[in-house]
Structure 1
Amino acid sequence: MIVEQQVYFMIQSDELDPEQITRYVGVEPTRSEAKESRRGRKSGRLLPPRHEWMLDSGLAETTSLGEQTEAVMNQLAGAWDRIGELTAGGTTATLVMLRSFEPGEHSNPRGLILDAEAISFLHKAGADLWIDEYDLS
């Protein structure tokens, strides 16, 4: 059974802080974190190693990955060229698709699909795709 599903778009930069990324992209993030703004609980190291700007789908974790991806993509409509300019300058952009499973009678996870339009937007933005799946059994 799927326990959690989440899609978000992340921009990371060594140089541009989250406010600068927001101004450049023209979209408010759902969450952000400045480089080395906190210490890790176990390591005591300064985290995160880069500035992080993240945009969530805004949908419930029970919503399909496809619907969440579409919601994120729609929020970034019109910003793909600007994101591409950032990645051309060394910033990293990633669409993150995450889901967790636990065993159960409905433990047959559905696959995920990115349509040609989504792939085209990611390509235009110079963005990566990160798919993370966890088996919690």
Structure 2
Amino acid sequence: MSDVHNPTEISEALGVRPSAVTHNGDWRLESSAHGDEASLEELIRAVTGPLLGVADKLVSLAVQGATIELHLTRDLLGPGTGALCFMLDAPVIKLLAEVGAEVWIDEYDEVDWERTAHTPPA
């Protein structure tokens, strides 16, 4: 996100095309295009892979006022729910460190929450 650069300028600065641009002009690289059958690791690589070689450019955009966020959202109700853990490999961790990213990973198991919410305590 940037109040200084529009999505076209961000794409040119990074040398990466976005998978989406939001209605308010945020530049997004999303993994949803890879389908429901992709593993979580494949989805993370789909987003981080194109950015691994451009950490310096991301930092430059951040210095100029851009906000860089990484959102990892896991739906525990869909395909592949048996594997509830994942790993960020060394290149991804290095990228996140170089750009000064904060990482938030939240997983919600809505089925279990609903079941325990309606079960009286013992």
TM bin (shorter chain): 0.7 to 0.9
Answer 1 or 2: which has greater helix percent. 2
Q: Which stretches in structure 2 are left out of the alignment for 5+ residues? A: 112-122
Does 2:101 correspond to 1:124? no
The within-5 A match list for 1:20-31 is 20-31=9-20
Between the aligned partners of 2:83 and 2:49, the Cα distance in structure 1 is 25
Larger Rg: 2
TM-score normalised by the chain length of structure 1: 0.66
Residue in 2 aligned with 1:46?
Answer: none
Amino acid at match of 1:119: I
In percent, how many aligned pairs have the same letter? Answer: 33
Shift of 1:22: 1.0
**Could you give the per-residue CA deviations for residues 90-122 of structure 1, whole angstroms, max 9, x where no partner exists?**
21112221111239xx96551121122211011
User: Equivalents in 1 of 2:17, 2:81: separation in Å?
Assistant: 36
Q: Deviations over 1:9-30 (max 9, x none)?
A: xxx1122111111111111000
Cα deviation per residue 1:2-58 (whole Å; 9 max; x = unaligned)?
xxxxxxxxxx112211111111111100001253xxxxxxxxxxxxxxx31111234
> What SS does the corresponding residue of 1:76 show, helix, strand or coil?
helix
* Whole-angstrom CA distance in 2 between matches of 1:109 and 1:88: 38
Is 1:69 paired with 2:28?
no
AA at the equivalent of 2:77 = E
Other structure's SS at 2:44 match: helix
Q: Is residue 85 of structure 1 aligned with residue 74 of structure 2?
A: no
Q: Secondary structure at the match of 1:16?
A: coil
- Greater strand content: 1
Instruction: Give the number of equivalent residue pairs.
Output: 109
